[in-house]
């Protein structure tokens, strides 16, 4: 599947959603309000304490927005297909994705692309841009490119998480609850991970590398002086594509299992 | 163009134990039954042939279609379509085949029908002139023009199915798989669809592989039929041949005064349905023997009434299945129970 | 009559047992939330205190607030919504039982299940991990139990009310997002109302959401003046009555509309 075909799918998705324009608009408003509440809580908190482990409000807002923005981008492509996969398999609708001269993976993602994340993208990028303008950062072209790459890599990593859990639908009957676990785990990176103990920091860096989504990129952009953090900031750019590739392989393994190859 | 030899597909079916102890047991071990959905089936289909694939629910019809289209990988046996192994060259084969699942839609629910066609054009990379040519024909023959600009959710079932079939044929496939294409439709819609499929088969030499519950679909479209039951192929031949074979046999339903029990064993007759004092028999030797049969029987058991049925093909096939089921129920050879510990 | 209600509750309870394999995951999710909050508060407060609040207080607060959030009934919105849209509600209306009461007892079955299989284990484990303080004054214990009941009733009524409103807007999902946002901020989940600036505190006290977490936790921790408790519980009761009244009003209008539309 090439990009032109994929974007035609996206066009059809948008056209479908616009058939219910009213509901869509209220939905966008609802989600913006929902996330505004989360920002508000952090803001209220920092009214009392000024900083969390040396991170002030604008920096936390940046950290939080980077997480939300990359999630929204990744989830646009993967949330709806992956969360629905177990039911799609049970209802026998997965067969449809194996009848076209297309990669079942890309066809599945394209067909169930979700434009609803526009609300998340809206609020997170507004806050992100605001926090960039407020925070004390010296901008260079190099840094701007870094931020762009970090957003892409983070989005791929978030997508990879959803894909891995979705792939389990090929093995187990119900995986819905694993998604809520994933979202609970993601709560850990709403704040700088330096508030946690060393063990948890290691887990969040190396085992479930959620800190690569926003923590290390933020440190890199805020020019943290520690060399290891600089290295991890660069590593973060690689982790996203790598984990997406592994997640893709896992999904394809599951799809093969579904087809009854060797199992 | 399709070649199938010794093809089988087995599924594992997990048995869930109930109750508290059962639930705990389920966590550690799960009993499963191996179900043979397709059992050692062989046949081949030439280009331009129209095949009716017939069988009761659970006979493995959909499984066969899924193996032929590469959706499922066979457990054993050989299968090629256009000289390619479907599950290995799935995408390659997908370009050359069309599929219609009667119970699942490929159309975009909220969008005009034409958008789904445009998407299909892009997916299959159909040349503009081929696309235009096919659209002209379909708009007319399938009467798509009366609803092509309407959202799918506003269409009747018959209109939707016409659109689905047009979609499946848009890229000039060599073979079309139709799984229950007329299910739930009214007589006129069924007729329209049958005529269209037949025409495509005759004029374009497109092979047809059709499964249906409706015998009329198969009689009108297909020259040849394959009948399967419990995964096994039990008939392969022309529709006419099956009819002439079966027309020699008669179905007699006899109402006795007193239930004679299972003891009624007679030469020349097979008991196909038994509901106490009312029993149905199949006699394989034409009308004379049917009358003899009733006379013989009435000497031994008092008979209240009897009905001699003509050999309606649909009834006969149904009876045929039923008699097969009776044979199988005594010998459960096909299912084996295994217990697996994880 | 009482017997048939308890039957409904029992049925709902056993319906939940189908999901008992997910109980562990849910406990894990809860402990994660408490753990994150405790980590943040440790980072913020260290060994000191702010406005008389120290880390021990915040550990207990986090645990009680998270536990109370587990028994809220505002998700009843999806039950009503589903029934209104499918028209299945007519089946319920035929039963010789007051409909919202039926729903409440049904939800109570879910809550009892949650308490036994999620809340109690969560409390035991976090008590073991972080420590926990208990109220000693029996007066507060009684008030705490009453406040829990108020949390149940008010959350139920809010969910029920929103479901009825969504009957006109036909978009439950967006309204649920907004309600969740309000609960996030004003129930004091994560950030107790003690830390709100005056303006925000005023807003919080004007809204019913503080009864869905903050009030029970504050009473439990004996952080409310003994002579204020009666007044606060009275206020909560007034909220419950008012919401009930509005819900009844909307209910009759919705039914009338349903009857006119012919289901």
Residue by residue, DSSP assigns A41-88 as: HHHHHHHHHSEETTEEHHHHHHHHHHHHHHHHHHHHHHHHHHHHHHHH
Q: Are residues B233 and B272 in the same domain?
A: no
Q: Which residues of B144-167 are buried (b: 16+ CB within 10 A; e: fewer)?
A: beebbeebbeebeebbbbbbbbbb
Residue range A90-96: mean pLDDT, rounded: 91
The answer to whether residues C99 and C93 touch, using CB atoms and an 8 Å cutoff, is yes
Chain B CB contacts of A15 under 8 Å are 110-111, 115
Mutate to test the interface with A, among B69, B90, B172 (most CBs of A within 10 A): B90
CA distance C98 to chain A (A): 31
B113, B149 Cβ separation under 8 angstroms = yes
Q: What percent of chain A has pLDDT over 90?
A: 82
**What is the DSSP annotation of C172-225?**
HHHHHHHHHHHHHHHT-SSS-GGGS-HHHHHHHHHSGGGGGTHHHHHHHTT-S-
Which chain B residues touch A4 with a CB distance below 8 Å? 122
Question: Is B195 in the A-facing interface, judged by CB distances under 8 Å?
Answer: no
- Per-residue pLDDT at C263 exceeds 50: no
β-pair type (B269-275, B337-341): unpaired
Give the minimum alpha-carbon distance from C172 to chain A in angstroms, rounded to a whole number: 9
| DSSP track, B262-316 | GG---TTEEEEEEETTEEEEEESSHHHHHHHHHHHHHHHS-EEEEEEEP--HHHH
Q: Number of folded domains in chain B? A: 2
Q: Identify the residue among A48, A118, A196 best suited for mutation to test binding to C, counting C beta carbons within 10 A and taking the highest.
A: A48
Q: Which residues of chain C make contact with A197, given a CB cutoff of 8 A?
A: 39
Scanning chain C, the segments in alpha helix (DSSP H) are 2-16, 23-45, 55-70, 76-86, 89-94, 99-114, 120-130, 138-169, 172-186, 198-206, 214-220, 226-261
Distance CA A171, CA A175 (A): 9
Highest mean pLDDT among A9-23, B9-23, C91-105 belongs to: A9-23
Mean pLDDT of chain A: 93
- Dig out the tokens for B66 from the structure: 């899924």
In angstroms, the CA C63 to CA C169 distance is 36
Quick check: B71 and A92 CB within 8 A?
no
| Residue with more model confidence, C96 or A221 | A221
For A44, nearest residue in chain C (alpha carbons): C196
Average pLDDT (C214-228) is 92
Contact in structure between C209 and C182 (CB atoms under 8 Å): yes
> Does residue B299 lie in a domain region?
yes
| A37 contacts C32? CB cut-off 8 A | no
Q: What is the mean pLDDT of residues C148-170?
A: 88
pLDDT at position B314 is 65
Partner-chain contact A95 B101, CB within 8 Å? yes
For the four alpha carbons of A185, A187, A193 and A195, in that order, the dihedral sign comes to negative
The verdict on residue B156 lying in a domain is: yes
Which of B187, B216, B243 is a domain's end point?
A: B243
| Res B278: pLDDT | 84
* Residue-level pLDDT at B23: 56
- pLDDT classification of A122: cutoffs 50, 70, 90: very high
- Supply the pLDDT for residue B338: 30
Angle at B294 between CA B289 and CA B300, to 5 degrees: 130
**What is the pLDDT confidence band of residue B323, given thresholds at 50, 70 and 90?**
low
The verdict on a CB contact (< 8 Å) between A181 and C196 is no
Calculate mean pLDDT across residues B45-73. Answer: 91
Q: In whole angstroms, give the CA distance from residue B95 to residue B120.
A: 11
* Domain match, B279 and B313 both: yes
Dist CA C42 CA A196 (whole Å)? 9
> Rounded to an integer, what distance in angstroms lies between the CA atom of residue A186 and that of residue C33?
10
pLDDT at position B336? 29
Task: Verify that B233 and B258 share a domain, yes or no.
Answer: no
Q: Say what the pLDDT of residue C83 is.
A: 76
Phi, psi dihedrals of residue C3, rounded to the nearest 5°: -65, -45
Q: Which of C36, C51, C77, C180 to substitute to test the interface with A, most A CBs within 10 Å?
A: C36
**Structure confidence at residue B22 as a pLDDT band (50, 70, 90):** low
Give the span between the Cα atoms of A164 and A168, in whole angstroms: 7
The confidence band for B321, taking pLDDT boundaries of 50, 70 and 90, is low
Q: pLDDT at position B339, please?
A: 28
A54 to chain C, any CB pair closer than 8 A? The answer is: no
pLDDT of A165 > 90? The answer is yes
Q: Is the dihedral of CA A65, A67, A68, A71 positive or negative?
A: positive
> Is the four-CA dihedral C40, C41, C47, C48 of positive or negative sign?
positive
Cβ-defined contact of A34 to C181 (cutoff 8 Å):
yes
Percent of chain A with pLDDT strictly greater than 70: 99
**The pTM is what?**
0.86
Residue A262 scores a pLDDT above 70 = no
For residue B111, what pLDDT is reported? 95
Shared-domain flag, residues B220 and B257: no
| Distance in Å, alpha carbon of C223 to nearest chain A alpha carbon | 19
CATH (domain of B268): 3.30.70
pLDDT score of C163:
85
Structure tokens at C172: 């439950």
Give percent of chain B above pLDDT 90.
Answer: 47
Cβ neighbourhood burial of B22 (10 Å; 0-12, 13-18, 19+): exposed
Q: Under an 8 A CB cutoff, do A44 and C32 touch?
A: no
Q: Which chains touch B (3 or more CB pairs under 8 A)?
A: A
pLDDT (average), residues B255-279 = 76
Closest CA to B308 of B240, B266, B249: B249
Question: In this complex, do B115 and A98 lie within 8 Å of one another by their Cβ atoms?
Answer: no
Q: Of A136-140, B285-289, C117-121, C177-181, give the lowest mean pLDDT range.
A: B285-289
Q: How far apart are CA C258 and CA C89, in angstroms?
A: 10
Closest CA–CA distance from residue C11 to any residue of chain A (Å): 22
User: A128-142, B84-98, C47-61, C247-261 — which one is most confidently predicted on average?
Assistant: B84-98
* Residue B325 banded pLDDT, cuts 50, 70, 90: low
Which of A17, A63, A195, A201 is the best residue to mutate to test the C interface, defined by the most C CB atoms within 10 Å of its own CB? Answer: A195
Whether residue B138 is predicted with pLDDT greater than 90 in this model: the reply is yes
- pLDDT category at A28 given cuts 50, 70, 90 is very high
Q: C103 or B213: whose pLDDT is higher?
A: C103
Which stretch of B2-11, B138-147, B323-332 has the lowest confidence by average pLDDT? B323-332
**What's residue B251's pLDDT?**
77
- Which of B71, B74, B104 has its CB closest to that of A98? B71
pLDDT above 70: residue A166: yes
Which carries the bigger pLDDT value, residue A126 or residue A137? A126
Residues of A in contact with C32 (CB under 8 A): 184-185, 187-188
Q: Which of B203, B226, B243 is a domain's end point?
A: B243
What residues are paired with B54 via a beta bridge? B227
Q: Is the pLDDT of residue A58 over 50?
A: yes
Q: Do residues B255 and B236 share a domain?
A: no
Average pLDDT, integer, range A200-214:
95
* Whether residue B30 is found in the same domain as residue B129: yes
Q: Given an 8 Å threshold on Cβ–Cβ distance, is B111 in contact with A15?
A: yes
pLDDT at A94 over 60: yes
CB contact under 8 A, A99 and B69: yes
Contact residues for A185 (Cβ-Cβ < 8 A; gap 6+)? A208, A210, C32
For residues A137-158, average pLDDT? 95
pLDDT at A221 (0 to 100): 94
Residue B184 lies in a domain: yes
Partner residue facing A31 (CB), from C33, C42, C177: C177
| Two structure tokens written together for B175 | 């073979």
- What pLDDT score was predicted for residue B85? 95
Asked which of A89-98, A194-203, B75-84, B254-263 is least confident by mean pLDDT, the reply is: B254-263
Helix axes A176-186, A141-167, angle to 10 degrees: 150
Chain C, window 8-47: residues with a beta carbon less than 8 angstroms from a chain A beta carbon: 19, 22, 25-26, 28-29, 32-33, 36, 39-40, 42-44
Do B228 and B192 share a domain, yes or no? yes
- Interstrand relation of B224-229 and B303-309 (parallel, antiparallel or unpaired): unpaired
Domain boundaries, chain C: 2-261
Q: What is the pLDDT of residue B176?
A: 96
The answer as to whether B341 is a domain residue is no
| Mean pLDDT for the stretch of residues B44-69 | 90
B295/B232 same-domain check = no
Assess B101–A contact: CB distance below 8 Å, yes or no.
yes
Enumerate neighbours of A (3 or more CB pairs within 8 A): B, C
Residue labelled with tokens 């217990």: B339
> Is the pLDDT higher at B249 or at C54?
C54
Of the pLDDT bands very low, low, confident and very high (cuts 50, 70, 90), residue B216 is confident
- Which of B227, B243, B259 terminates a domain? The answer is B243
Q: What's residue B265's pLDDT?
A: 62
A181: chain C residues, CB-CB within 8 Å: 25, 28-29
* Subunit contact A180:C42, Cβ cutoff 8 A: no
- The minimum CA-CA distance between A4 and chain C, rounded to whole Å, is 32
Question: What's the pLDDT score for residue A116?
Answer: 92
Asked if the Cβ–Cβ distance from C44 to A37 is below 8 Å, we say no
CATH of the domain at B30: 3.40.50.300
| Distances, alpha carbon C218 to alpha carbons B202, C3, C186, in Å | 81, 35, 14
- Which residue segment(s) compose the domain that B76 sits in? 2-243
Q: Give the closest-approach CA distance of A242 to chain B in angstroms.
A: 26
- Are residues B29 and B102 both part of a single domain? yes
Tally C-beta pairs within 8 A across A and C: 94
Is pLDDT larger for residue C97 or for residue C159?
Answer: C159
Mean pLDDT to the nearest integer, C188-204: 94
Domain membership of residue B133 (yes or no) is yes
Q: Is B340 contained in some domain?
A: no
Closest CA relative to residue B342, chosen from B30, B34, B33? B30
CA A153 → CA A23, A61, A132, A192, A201, distances in Å?
32, 19, 19, 19, 20
Give the span between the Cα atoms of A23 and B263, in whole angstroms. Answer: 70
Give how far B223 is from chain A: nearest CA, Å. 26
pLDDT at residue number B26: 60
Reduce the DSSP state of residue B44 to 3 states and report it: strand
Angle at the Cα of B1 from the Cα atoms of A258 and B5, rounded to 5 degrees: 60
What average pLDDT does range B84-92 have in this prediction? 94
> For the segment C62-80, what is each residue's pLDDT rounded down to a tens digit?
999 999 999 999 888 888 7
Q: CB A184 to CB C28 under 8 A?
A: yes
User: Which H or E run contains B119?
Assistant: helix B113-123
The nearest CA of chain A is from the CA of B315 a distance in Å of: 31
Mean pLDDT of chain B: 82
Assigned domain for B101 exists: yes
CA-wise closest residue to B126 among B113, B114, B135:
B135
Domain assignment present for B125: yes
**What pLDDT is attached to residue B21?**
63
Q: Are B184 and B91 part of one and the same domain?
A: yes
Short-list C14, C13, C15, C8, CA closest to C105:
C8
Cα–Cα nearest to B228, from B65, B98, B74, B113: B65
**Greater pLDDT, C6 or C204:** C204
Identify the band that residue B319 occupies on the pLDDT scale cut at 50, 70 and 90.
low
Confidence of residue B266 (pLDDT cuts 50, 70, 90): low
């Amino acid at each position: 599947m090439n990009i032109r075909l994929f974007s035609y799918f996206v066009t059809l998705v948008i056209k479908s959603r616009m058939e219910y324009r009213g509901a869509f608009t209220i939905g966008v408003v609802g989600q913006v309000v929902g996330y505004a509440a989360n920002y508000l809580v952090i803001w209220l908190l920092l009214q009392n304490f000024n900083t969390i482990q040396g991170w002030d409000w604008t920096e936390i807002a940046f950290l939080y927005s980077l997480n939300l923005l990359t999630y929204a981008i990744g989830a646009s492509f993967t949330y709806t297909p992956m969360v629905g996969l177990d039911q799609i398999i049970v209802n026998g609708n997965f067969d449809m994705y194996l009848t076209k001269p297309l990669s079942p993976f890309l066809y599945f993602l394209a067909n169930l692309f979700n434009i609803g994340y526009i609300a998340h993208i809206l609020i997170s990028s507004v806050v992100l841009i605001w926090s960039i303008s407020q925070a004390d950062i010296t901008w260079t072209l190099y840094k701007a490119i870094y931020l762009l790459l970090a957003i892409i890599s983070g989005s791929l990593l978030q997508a990879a998480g959803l894909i891995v859990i979705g792939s389990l639908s090929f093995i187990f009957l119900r995986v819905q609850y694993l998604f809520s676990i994933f979202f609970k785990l993601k709560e850990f990176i709403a704040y700088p991970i330096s508030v946690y103990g060393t063990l948890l920091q290691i887990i969040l860096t190396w085992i479930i590398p959620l800190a690569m989504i926003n923590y290390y990129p933020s440190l890199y952009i805020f020019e943290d002086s520690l060399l290891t953090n600089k290295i991890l900031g660069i590593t973060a750019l690689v982790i996203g594509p790598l984990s997406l590739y592994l997640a893709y392989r896992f999904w394809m393994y599951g799809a093969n299992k579904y087809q009854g190859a060797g199992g | 163009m399709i070649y199938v030899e010794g093809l089988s597909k087995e599924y594992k079916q997990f048995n869930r134990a109930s109750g508290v102890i059962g639930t705990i047991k389920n966590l550690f071990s799960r009993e499963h039954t191996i179900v043979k959905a397709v059992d050692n089936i062989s046949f081949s289909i030439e280009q331009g042939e129209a095949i009716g694939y017939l069988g009761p629910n659970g006979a493995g019809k959909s499984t066969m279609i899924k193996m032929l289209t590469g959706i499922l990988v066979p457990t054993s046996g050989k299968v090629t379509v256009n000289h390619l192994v479907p599950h290995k060259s799935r995408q390659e084969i997908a370009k050359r085949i069309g599929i219609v699942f009667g119970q699942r839609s490929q159309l975009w629910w909220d969008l005009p029908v034409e958008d789904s066609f445009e998407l299909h054009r892009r997916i299959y990379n159909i040349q503009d002139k081929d696309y235009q040519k096919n659209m002209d024909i379909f708009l007319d023959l399938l009467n798509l023009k009366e609803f092509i600009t309407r959202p799918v959710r506003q269409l009747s079932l018959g209109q939707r199915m016409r659109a689905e079939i047009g979609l499946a044929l848009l890229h000039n496939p060599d073979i079309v798989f139709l799984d229950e294409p007329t299910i739930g439709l009214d007589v006129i819609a069924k007729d329209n669809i049958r005529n269209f499929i037949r025409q495509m088969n005759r004029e374009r030499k497109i092979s047809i592989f059709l499964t249906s519950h409706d015998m009329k679909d198969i009689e009108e479209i297909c020259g040849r039929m394959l009948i399967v039951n419990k995964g096994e192929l039990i008939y392969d031949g022309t529709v006419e041949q099956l009819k002439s074979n079966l027309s020699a046999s008669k179905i007699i339903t006899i109402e006795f005064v007193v239930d004679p029990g299972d003891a009624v064993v007679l030469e020349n007759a097979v008991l196909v349905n038994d509901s106490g004092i009312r029993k149905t028999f199949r006699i394989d030797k034409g009308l004379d023997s049917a009358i003899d049969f009733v006379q013989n029987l009435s000497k031994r058991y008092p008979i209240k009434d009897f009905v001699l049925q003509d050999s309606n093909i649909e009834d006969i096939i149904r009876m045929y299945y039923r008699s097969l089921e009776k044979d199988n129920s005594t010998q459960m050879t096909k299912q084996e129970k295994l217990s697996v510990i994880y | 009559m009482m017997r048939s209600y308890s039957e409904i509750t029992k049925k709902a309870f056993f319906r939940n047992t189908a999901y008992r394999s997910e109980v562990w995951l849910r406990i894990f999710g809860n402990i994660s939330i408490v753990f994150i909050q405790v980590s943040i508060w440790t980072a913020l407060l260290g060994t000191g205190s702010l406005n008389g609040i120290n880390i021990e207080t915040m550990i207990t607060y986090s645990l009680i607030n998270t536990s109370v959030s587990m028994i809220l009934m505002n998700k009843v919105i999806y039950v009503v919504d589903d029934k209104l849209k499918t028209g299945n509600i007519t089946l319920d209306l035929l039963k010789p039982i007051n409909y919202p009461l039926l729903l409440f007892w049904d939800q109570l079955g879910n809550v009892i299940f949650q308490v036994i299989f999620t809340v109690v284990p969560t409390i035991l484990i976090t008590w073991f991990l972080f420590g926990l303080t208990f109220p000693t004054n029996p007066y507060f214990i009684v008030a705490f139990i009453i406040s829990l009941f108020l949390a149940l009733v008010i959350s139920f009524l809010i969910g029920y009310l929103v479901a009825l409103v969504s009957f006109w807007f036909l978009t439950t999902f967006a309204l649920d997002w907004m309600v969740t946002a309000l609960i996030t901020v004003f129930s004091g989940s994560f950030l107790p109302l003690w830390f709100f600036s005056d303006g925000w505190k005023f807003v919080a006290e004007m809204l019913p959401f503080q009864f869905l977490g903050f009030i029970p936790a504050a009473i439990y921790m004996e952080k409310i003046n003994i002579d204020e408790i009666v007044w606060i519980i009275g206020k909560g009761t007034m909220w419950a009555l008012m919401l009930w009244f509005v819900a009844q009003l909307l209910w009759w209008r919705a039914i009338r509309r349903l009857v006119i539309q012919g289901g």
